[in-house]
Amino acid sequence: MIEMTIARIAEIVGGELADITAEEAASTRVTGSVEFDSRAIGPGGLFLALPGARSDGHDFAAGAVAAGAAVVLAARPVGVPAIVVRPEPGAADAASGALEFDTDGSGAAVLAALAKLAAAVAAELVAGGLTIIGVTGSSGKTSTKDLLAAVLDPLGQVIAPPGSFNNELGHPWTVLRATPDTDYLILEMSARHPGNIAALAAIAPPQIAVVLNVGTAHLGEFGSREAIANTKAELPQAVPAGGVVILNVDDTAVAAMAGKTAARVVRVSREPGSEVDVWAGPVTLDELARPRFTLHAGGDRIDVALAVHGDHQVGNALCAAAVALQCGAGLDQVATALASAGPVSRHRMQVAGRADGVTVINDAYNANPDSMRAGLKALAWMARRGGGESAGEVGGKRRSWAVLGEMAELGEDAITEHDAIGRFAVRLDVSRLIVVGTGRTMNAMHHGAVMEGSWGSESTMVDDADAALALLQAELQPGDVVLVKASNSVGLGALADALLAAAGPAADGDAVR
């Protein structure tokens, strides 16, 4: 964060000083980072006192100051220097899911203050030359954010959120990582309700916006795909006339957003077209489902070999390339950066090999119908193309395992969508399906697989991740390929980590691919 006195921060957020005099607040500067985990606080930092599942951040305020925090942003006095922002009636509802355990509005009050601080800092940095890039979409936001960071890195200093910091807490927290030395600030923007993206964009208005797709993630919250599209459109609507909006026009709902922004529109597609600005030539995949294609832009072209896995990454890479080109990168710079931009965020299409030849695709951070199909397609491709002589090879291909958990927040469509994924796995000729969980949705996935043509033990239901791991450890053979995927709440990321640890990593150069 830019350096700022405690008094100035209190003025910005409308807070009261507690356990610190006005003179001390005027002379003491916050010089470190803003943190909501007291274990991460450093000298000169600002600690956010937020409620959590097991404890309240207010209880850790004294420890944060002892660790070096200059001040605490809190909803009540905490016995150490603090800026206090009082909860308002009904404030707990404003957290919109970012703070599940905010029962008294204290968390919402601190979040509102954090947003005000981030907005002030963003405005100052933009005036100094910072470029803000916002990314939204039903799937692929985090992967695209990582690709964006890679392609912009040769152009200047980049700040991007770690993992999926894309809500009312993670968004302003990421904004406050920027400093006067930051050239590009990349922000993910997610939503659970209409208006969420507009609120995030108001904190740090983007000069460049990227819309990837409109799918069915959070369908249970929105009720319809049209409502999701309207909410995603809040991002291009927030870009001023002098800005740029990058649209993946292979998605018709995204293409329609061109008429909803005052900004200049850049269209990307997997196919050429009269209105398409950046597009990919014929796409091929290598044995690990890494895409290869020719990138076309402005009459120029260059061959691109991605380091990330899955055909679905082509659209993400095109959007990242379009942003970099708008920021002044050349095609050669973009191609070089994409070639070295492997998976960064944990549990998102991370492909790793074990010493016994088993390949694990760890995509366990999140899941919706679109991303689930993309992961299954990558699994099927690797099984077909990544063969070789191994005990796991059957009929000219490697055995494939899909270990799938629940896709959350699909509402009334949950049963239908889980049934469809079970059927899709069978149509792709996945060798074994392990359905993790025994609720109605997972019963639907298993039933769908059976009805589509699975028999015997090809589709197996297990109670939990431990049971799935035990089954895999008992039956995996050298050369098998395993996809682990579910919504993050299912906790299958730990299963994938344990699966890799069980046989040790492959030799250098093959462990993470």
Task: Tell me the per-residue pLDDT of 221-279, one tens digit each, with 9 for 90 and over.
Answer: 677 888 899 999 999 999 999 999 999 999 999 999 999 999 999 999 999 988 999 99
* Rounded Cα distance, 47 and 70, in Å: 8
Question: What's the pLDDT tens digit per position in 406-423?
Answer: 998 888 889 999 999 999
Contact between 277 and 257 (Cβ < 8 Å): no
Is residue 459's pLDDT more than 70?
yes
Dmax (CA) for the chain in angstroms is: 78
Q: What are the backbone angles phi and psi of residue 314, rounded to the nearest 5°?
A: -60, -50
Whether 140 has a binding-site annotation, put simply, is yes
* Rounded Cα distance, 308 and 266, in Å: 24
Whether 139 has a binding-site annotation, put simply, is yes
Give the tokens for residue 163: 């993992």
* Rounded Cα distance, 49 and 99, in Å: 12
Q: Which helix (H) or strand (E) holds 105?
A: none
Whether 485 has a binding-site annotation, put simply, is no
Nearest Cα to Cα of residue 402 among 369, 435, 367: 435
Q: Is 2 exposed, middle or buried (0-12, 13-18, 19+ CB in 10 A)?
A: middle
CATH of 4-104, one of 3.40.1390.10, 1.10.630.10, 1.20.120.330, 1.10.1060.10: 3.40.1390.10
pLDDT at position 478: 92
Task: Enumerate the domain spans of the chain.
Answer: 4-104, 129-340, 350-502
CATH class of 129-340: alpha beta
Q: Which helix (H) or strand (E) holds 432?
A: strand 432-436
pLDDT at position 224: 85
Q: Is 475 exposed, middle or buried (0-12, 13-18, 19+ CB in 10 A)?
A: middle
Give the tokens for residue 372: 């689930």
The mean per-residue pLDDT over the stretch 352-376 comes to 92
Topology agreement, domain 4-104 and domain 129-340: no
Nearest Cα to Cα of residue 315 among 171, 437, 135: 135
The mean per-residue pLDDT over the stretch 52-76 comes to 93
The answer to which of 203-207, 327-331, 409-413 has the lowest mean pLDDT is 409-413
pLDDT at position 393: 53
Start-to-end CA distance of the chain, whole Å, equals 35
Residue 156 banded pLDDT, cuts 50, 70, 90: very high
Nearest Cα to Cα of residue 225 among 374, 365, 413: 413
Whether 142 has a binding-site annotation, put simply, is yes
pLDDT at position 93: 53
Residue 476 banded pLDDT, cuts 50, 70, 90: very high
| Cβ neighbours around 456 below 10 Å, total | 7
The CATH number given to 350-502 is 3.90.190.20
Give the tokens for residue 287: 């044995």
Contact between 170 and 192 (Cβ < 8 Å): no
* pLDDT above 90 as % of the chain: 75
Is residue 201's pLDDT more than 50?
yes
pLDDT at position 483: 97
Whether 143 has a binding-site annotation, put simply, is yes
Q: Is 126 exposed, middle or buried (0-12, 13-18, 19+ CB in 10 A)?
A: middle
Whether 137 has a binding-site annotation, put simply, is yes
Question: What's the pLDDT tens digit per position in 426-439?
Answer: 999 999 999 999 89
Whether 491 has a binding-site annotation, put simply, is no
